Copies of this chain bind each other. A is one copy, B any other.
Amino acid sequence: MEFLVRFEINQPESMTQDERERLRTIERARAMELREQGILKRLWRIPGRRAVVGLWDTVDATALHEALASLPMFPWMDVHVEALATHPQEM
């Protein structure tokens, strides 16, 4: 089942540049794993913001939550999830 997931990342001012860099690296690695598992299908950036929209595919909302919570930046992410149904033209 597909979900449209929108999130914005709000890291505290006090986080060091090194810590930000380290998080970016492991975030990217984890995202790659989720892509290989077919869970994360596409990501787009919202222009001008530290925000992304993504297309995710999991068996249900519980599995989606686990996938999102496995991202290293999850503690600083403000996430909104929208459940998608298949459109008749896509069948």
What's the nearest-Cβ distance from chain B to residue A90, in Å? Answer: 6
Within 8 A of B (CB), among A64-89: 64-65, 68, 77, 79-89
Which residue on chain B has the smallest CB distance to residue A5? B48
Interface pair B90/A43, CB less than 8 Å apart: yes
Complex Cα gap A89–B52 (Å):
11
Q: How many monomers of this chain does the complex have?
A: 10
Complex Cα gap A73–B84 (Å):
22
A9 sits at the interface (CB 8 A): no
What's the nearest-Cβ distance from chain B to residue A45, in Å? Answer: 4
4 other contacts beyond A4-B53, A46-B84, A64-B83, with CB at 8 A cut-off? A47-B61, A48-B80, A53-B84, A62-B86
